[in-house]
């Protein structure tokens, strides 16, 4: 991720997530360093390198190694809310956290059991049935379908809602991150969920032999 492509506050949120630093404590430590030149936050040593009427320059060290150097507006340091914490649930930060939490190896379909969470899976889309329009428990209408996906170990139904349906096509190789499994009408089912991610990928290394029926 390019440093130039994100705001300073997003960058601080990513640092907080990457090093498991509480975002509110991180913000307080920055404000303290602004006032006292130096502060500590977990493994971070924070130094205020320079100050102007508009900006403050910080240097962050961890075990004597430079982690980051950046400037923030003075008005950011005067924020009475939770400027870093408020970004921790944005799509960009969720994606970063999911990638961080991904295990070195993904699950296989054969190994999935009902009730599993944080499922990372790569599979081929075999079928996407015509969606049905259903009324949700909130009284709104939504499109839903159960796609059939497979890897070399088996097949499973993948529940897709609304815009998820059009995001993949039959024949695609897909990556599912942070999914969860359940039972539906006596069969295992994979769900994306609010914090999960579904994407179509190009992966020439993914070879699928004839799948074993689940």
Locate 173 and state its tokens.
């190789």
Closest CA to 156 of 131, 125, 133: 125
* pLDDT for res 205: 62
Q: What is the mean pLDDT of the chain?
A: 87
Task: Tell whether the model's pLDDT for residue 36 goes beyond 90.
Answer: yes
Contact between 43 and 15 (Cβ < 8 Å): no
> What ranges do the domains of the chain cover?
3-101, 109-201
- In angstroms, the CA 131 to CA 146 distance is 8
* pLDDT for res 107: 85
Contacts of 212 (CB under 8 A, 6+ apart): 110, 152, 153, 154, 155
- Segment 109-159, tens digit of pLDDT: 999 999 998 898 999 999 999 999 999 888 899 999 999 999 999 999 999
CATH of segment(s) 109-201? 2.40.50.140
> Average pLDDT in the 11-39 region?
92
* pLDDT for res 54: 93
pTM to 2 decimal places: 0.51
């Amino acid at each position: 991720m390019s440093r130039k492509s994100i705001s300073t506050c997003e960058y601080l949120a990513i640092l907080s997530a990457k090093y498991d630093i509480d975002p509110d404590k991180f913000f307080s430590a920055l404000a303290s360093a602004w006032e006292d030149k130096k502060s500590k936050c977990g493994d971070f040593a924070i130094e205020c390198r320079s100050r102007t009427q508009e900006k403050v320059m910080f240097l962050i060290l961890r075990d004597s190694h430079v982690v980051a150097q950046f400037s923030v507006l003075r008005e950011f340091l005067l924020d009475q809310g939770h400027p870093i914490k408020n970004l921790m649930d944005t799509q960009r930060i969720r994606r970063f956290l999911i990638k961080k939490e991904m295990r070195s190896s993904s699950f296989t379909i054969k190994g999935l059991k009902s009730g599993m969470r944080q499922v990372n899976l790569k599979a081929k889309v075999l079928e996407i049935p015509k969606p049905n329009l259903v009324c949700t428990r909130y009284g709104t209408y939504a499109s839903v379908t159960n796609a059939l996906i497979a890897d070399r170990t088996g097949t499973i139904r993948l529940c897709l809602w609304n815009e998820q349906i059009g995001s993949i096509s039959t024949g695609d190789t897909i990556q599912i991150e942070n999914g969860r499994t359940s039972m539906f009408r006596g069969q295992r089912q994979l769900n994306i969920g609010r914090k999960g991610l579904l994407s179509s990928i190009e992966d020439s290394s993914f070879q699928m032999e004839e799948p074993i029926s689940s």
